[in-house]
A and B are shown apart, each in its own frame.
Chain A
């Protein structure tokens, strides 16, 4: 039972344009969401997070949007750079203070120079 889903296994975006990665979840108990970036043969690296009490969080080129009613979040990267090419995972937590992450299946982002 995949509680966090990333329906696009891959995405290609032209350098300089906006990359939009999507994530859907089914568990209404999730109240904190994170995005991780992962290169092959490496562990995930934290990018940005958002609490369920917010609908937007921005950090430099990265913005995460949360639509609680739709149980949907998205990560926007603008402008996209070649170094952004990686696999992106969204992850969710339930209950404040519980660090057990539930990960999505990942989206491979390729930035085309």
Chain B
């Protein structure tokens, strides 16, 4: 299957700072990328849908000014957590699709563990 990478895999930051997480599709062009977050022992919650060259679509309850998403190219989407607080500590996972409507072609990255002190 296609490979999606995330960087960094783990980040610890101080409260009030901003953190950028990168999601890259390594061997395919991703017309759409999704950002999820997962709290311990809970399901993956979709935060936003990111389409190349356009503004991200955020799910209800997700602050777009806090979680800035940029999908600058067909292989890269970034999630910036601005003015991070301890409650933002979570596991953030991106996924990417090729534009094909075959449902199982949604490939997930390995995730980024964010800890805000």
A34 contacts across to B, CB distance below 8 A: 103-104
Beta-carbon nearest neighbor of A90 in chain B: B43
Measured in the bound complex, the distance between the Cα atoms of B45 and A76 in whole Å is: 25
Beta-carbon nearest neighbor of B99 in chain A: A99
A86-113 vs B, CB cutoff 8 Å, 1 = contact: the mask equals 0001000100110111111110000000
Contact A32 B103 (CB under 8 A): yes
Contact A4 B43 (CB under 8 A): yes
B35-55 vs A, CB cutoff 8 Å, 1 = contact: the mask equals 010000111111001000000
Contact A43 B108 (CB under 8 A): yes
Measured in the bound complex, the distance between the Cα atoms of B37 and A43 in whole Å is: 11
Contact A44 B108 (CB under 8 A): yes
Number of interface residues of B (CB under 8 A): 27
Contact A101 B46 (CB under 8 A): yes
Chain B nearest CB from A87 CB (Å) reads 9
| A41 on the B face (CB < 8 A) | yes
Chain A nearest CB from B45 CB (Å) reads 8
- Which of B101, B103, B108 interacts with A45 by CB under 8 Å? B108
Contact B44 A89 (CB under 8 A): yes
Measured in the bound complex, the distance between the Cα atoms of B99 and A99 in whole Å is: 10
Measured in the bound complex, the distance between the Cα atoms of B110 and A106 in whole Å is: 17
A6-35 vs B, CB cutoff 8 Å, 1 = contact: the mask equals 000100000000000000000000001010
Beta-carbon nearest neighbor of A106 in chain B: B43
A103-B44, A105-B42 are known contacts. Are A46 and B34 too (CB-CB below 8 A)?
A: no
Contact B104 A105 (CB under 8 A): no
Contact B113 A41 (CB under 8 A): yes
- Which of A43, A96, A105 interacts with B111 by CB under 8 Å? A43
B6 contacts across to A, CB distance below 8 A: 43
Footprint of B on A, CB under 8 Å? 2, 4, 9, 32, 34, 36, 41-46, 49, 89, 93, 96-97, 99-106
**What 3 A-B pairs have minimum CB-CB distances, sorted nearest first?**
A43-B108, A103-B43, A103-B44
